[in-house]
Amino acid sequence: TYRRDYEARWTLQFQSASSITLVQCYLGFMQRLNLAVEQQQHVATQTALHVERTRSDLVAKELRVATVRKLLERRGNEDRVAQARKNQKISDEFAARSAWNRLHADASSAT
């Protein structure tokens, strides 16, 4: 990484005589660089946590949607069954009336 390369370069530089001002500049820069790296790591960690929370929320909401979809499907099936029963009842009543009317029509014409 850049930080290690920079440290290696300056380690070689410090093996020879260096001024105090130069050493102070190096140390100041390394402090700022370390702080920047720590801040970036913090941002990356916070972002990863946010992504994980968002992913968990998404999974929970998808589960809720699937549950509601299943409920709607079940209610739709119940409505279709109820309608089919109602239609069957109407058909049965119509057939019974037709048979009754034929029976009485035959009985009336026989007398």
Q: What is the mean pLDDT of residues 7-36?
A: 85
| Predicted confidence (pLDDT) per residue in 87-98, tens digit | 999 999 999 999
| Predicted confidence (pLDDT) per residue in 60-100, tens digit | 999 999 999 999 999 999 999 999 999 999 999 999 999 99
Q: What is the mean pLDDT of residues 15-29?
A: 84
Give dist(CA 109, CA 103) in Å, integer: 10
DSSP state of 16: S
Written as one letter, the residue type at 89 is K
What percentage of the chain reaches a pLDDT higher than 70? 97
Between residues 14 and 47, the one the model is more confident about: 47
Give dist(CA 11, CA 47) in Å, integer: 35
Give dist(CA 103, CA 58) in Å, integer: 66
Mean pLDDT, all residues of the chain: 92
In sequence order, what DSSP letters do the residues of 35-52 get, joined into one string?
HHHHHHHHHHHHHHHHHH
CB 26 within 8 A of CB 10: yes
Q: Phi/psi at 31 (nearest 5 deg)?
A: -65, -45
pLDDT tier for residue 111 given thresholds of 50, 70 and 90: low
CB 50 within 8 A of CB 59: no
Checking if the pLDDT of 109 tops 80, the result is no
Return the percent helix, strand and coil in the chain, to nearest 5: 95, 0, 5
